[in-house]
């Protein structure tokens, strides 16, 4: 897999993770609108809705966070690879320049 494909996959994984998290929040809002007994709000109904909202938000986070972490780790590793390639090229060039210099002691 070349760097371009890996970079694209990292960005897509991050976007998928953000989408899952947003979908979890959207489902939470939808459950609040659809499932609330608006005519008779009791303490029990509010408690049930609070628990449901908490679990739906956690489900969205647990569904999306692994993709975000995977995508970001891929992007960081690609950047490190690029930086190490630049350092290696610079060191190789410096070694070639040192070999070409005349020895001042002779």
Domain membership of residue 13 as a residue range: 3-100
The length of the chain, given as a count of residues: 106
Q: For residue 13, what pLDDT band results from cuts at 50, 70 and 90?
A: very high
Q: Does this model's pTM top 0.85?
A: no
- Inside any domain, residue 75: yes
| pLDDT higher than threshold 90 for residue 50 | no
Question: What percent of the chain is predicted at pLDDT more than 90?
Answer: 44
Does 46 fall in a domain? yes
Mean pLDDT of 13-23: 93
Contact between 22 and 61 (Cβ < 8 Å): no
Q: Are 60 and 25 in contact (CB under 8 A)?
A: yes
In-domain check, residue 21:
yes
Q: Looking at the predicted structure, is the pLDDT value of residue 104 above 90?
A: no
Number of folded domains that form the chain:
1
In a domain, 105, yes or no: no
Is 102 a residue whose pLDDT tops 90?
no
Is residue 106 in some structural domain?
no
Query: Is residue 45 in some structural domain?
Result: yes
Mean pLDDT of the chain, nearest integer? 87
């Amino acid at each position: 897999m070349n760097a371009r494909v890996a970079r694209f996959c990292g960005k897509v994984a991050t976007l998928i993770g953000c989408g899952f998290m947003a979908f979890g929040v959207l489902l939470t809002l939808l459950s609040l609108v659809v499932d609330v007994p608006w005519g008779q709000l009791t303490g029990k109904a509010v408690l049930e809705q609070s628990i449901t909202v908490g679990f739906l938000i956690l489900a969205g986070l647990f569904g999306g966070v692994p993709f975000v972490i995977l995508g970001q780790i891929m992007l960081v590793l690609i950047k490190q690879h690029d930086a190490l390639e630049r350092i290696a090229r610079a060191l190789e060039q410096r070694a070639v320049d040192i070999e070409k210099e005349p020895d001042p002691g002779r």
